[in-house]
Amino acid sequence: MVTADVAQLSRECNTWREALRSQREDLAHMKGELQKAAAHLINKEALKEVEHYQNQFHIQLINIHDLKQNIKSHEKIASVQIGNDDTRTFDEVVSDHEKLSEEFQDLSQTLNDLKTDFHHFLERT
């Protein structure tokens, strides 16, 4: 039973990390789109928005990196602690896993909102 739980936690961690890699690639692509769009802008307000998106892309790349590292650490700790077959420790691991799941969902929502806003910006320019 514990082995199945470790495998499930590991699969979820891998799924999250893969999704974050994909999000990182999307942000890199959007940074390129922003550079192309910015080259043709002279409107002061539009240039402020360009700066806003540059900052947001940078911040979200950091958030992606940090969450990926937290997930990786959690997976390592989970496999060691669950391997010790300690129920109290297993409950803590599950609690940590649920917190990471919430962080992943929150970041995913933030990134999706950013993408939507950015694409609306590109349509306006």
Give the pLDDT of residue 51: 98
DSSP per residue, 81-118: HHHTT-HHHHHHHHHHHHHHHHHHHHHHHHHHHHHHHH
Measured distance CA(78)–CA(83) in Å, rounded: 8
Residue 120 burial by CB count (10 A; 0-12/13-18/19+): exposed, middle or buried? exposed
Identify the CATH number of the domain defined by range 2-124.
1.20.58
The domain segmentation of the chain, as residue ranges, is 2-124
Give the pLDDT of residue 6: 81
- Mind listing the pLDDT tens digit for each residue in 87-120? 657 788 889 999 999 999 999 999 999 999 999 9
**Angle of CA points 97, 98, 100, to nearest 5°:** 65
Contact yes or no for 63/107 (Cβ under 8 A): yes
Token readout for 11 is 């699969």
Enter the DSSP assignment of 19.
Answer: H
Measured distance CA(106)–CA(101) in Å, rounded: 9
- Mind listing the pLDDT tens digit for each residue in 21-72? 999 999 999 999 999 999 999 999 999 999 999 999 999 999 999 999 999 9
Question: Comparing 85 with 114, which gets the higher pLDDT?
Answer: 114
Give the pLDDT of residue 1: 37
